[in-house]
């Protein structure tokens, strides 16, 4: 078994860890650090339940080897709320819109939405973006659905997830 030392800043706290080089970021978060907000859904990068923000970009943590991200900054759903305990606008909007049923996918949905809104603010087009030369991308329901398509909800709460994201984006 090969081991390596990595330093990661997770939810604002620096951690220096010695771990098996085969350890996924998801397993490190859940089993190594007890941050169980990110869920192990499919363990193949197909459902998005494990989505976290890695240096501000959304990634499926089940597919990311922890050693490959030495020095990176990671934010999980636990790290989105403010230090005073107030919820992130997307967390609040998900609650207000009842955008979850069982809640299993919700942490990944919220982290993905945070990353997606950053992409939109930076003008990144999607496959449904109508005007690729526009300076900004209007965030329509189709844009939200397309951009969130990597995050599955087995309960079918999409009818509330899309408006929750749209409301948080408008704030």
Distance in angstroms (rounded) separating the CA atoms of residues 34 and 21:
19
pLDDT of residue 1: 86
Task: Look at residue 158 and tell me whether its pLDDT is greater than 90.
Answer: no
Calculate Rg over the CA atoms of the chain. Answer: 16
| pLDDT band per the 50, 70, 90 thresholds, residue 2 | very high
pLDDT of residue 24: 98
pLDDT tens for each residue of 10-62: 999 999 999 999 999 999 999 999 999 999 999 999 999 999 999 999 999 99
Residue 99: CB atoms within 10 A of its CB come to: 25
pLDDT of residue 147: 97
pLDDT tens for each residue of 89-141: 999 999 999 999 899 999 999 999 999 999 999 999 999 999 998 888 999 99
pLDDT of residue 171: 86
pTM of the model: 0.95
| pLDDT band per the 50, 70, 90 thresholds, residue 156 | confident
Calculate the dihedral angle through the C-alpha atoms of 40, 26, 55, 114, rounding to the nearest 10 degrees: 20
Q: Is 5 helix (H, G, I), strand (E, B) or coil?
A: strand
Mean of the per-residue pLDDT values of the chain: 96
169, containing H or E segment: helix 158-170
According to DSSP, the residues that pair with 47 across neighbouring strands are none
pLDDT of residue 84: 93
pLDDT of residue 91: 97
């Amino acid at each position: 078994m090969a081991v390596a030392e990595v330093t990661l800043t997770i939810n604002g706290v620096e951690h220096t860890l010695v771990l098996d080089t085969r350890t996924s970021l998801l397993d490190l978060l859940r089993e190594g650090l007890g941050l169980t907000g990110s869920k192990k859904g499919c363990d193949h990068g197909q459902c998005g339940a494990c989505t976290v923000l890695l240096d501000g970009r959304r990634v499926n943590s089940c597919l990311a080897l922890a050693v490959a991200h030495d020095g990176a900054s990671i934010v999980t759903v636990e790290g989105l709320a403010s230090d005073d305990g107030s919820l992130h606008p997307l967390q609040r909007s998900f609650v207000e819109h009842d955008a979850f049923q069982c809640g299993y996918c919700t942490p990944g949905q919220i982290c993905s939405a945070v990353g997606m809104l950053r992409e939109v603010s930076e003008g990144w087009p999607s496959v449904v973006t109508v005007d690729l030369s526009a300076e900004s991308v209007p965030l329509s329901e189709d844009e939200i659905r397309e951009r969130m398509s990597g995050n599955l909800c087995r309960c079918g709460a999409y009818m509330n997830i899309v408006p929750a994201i749209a409301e948080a984006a408008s704030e």
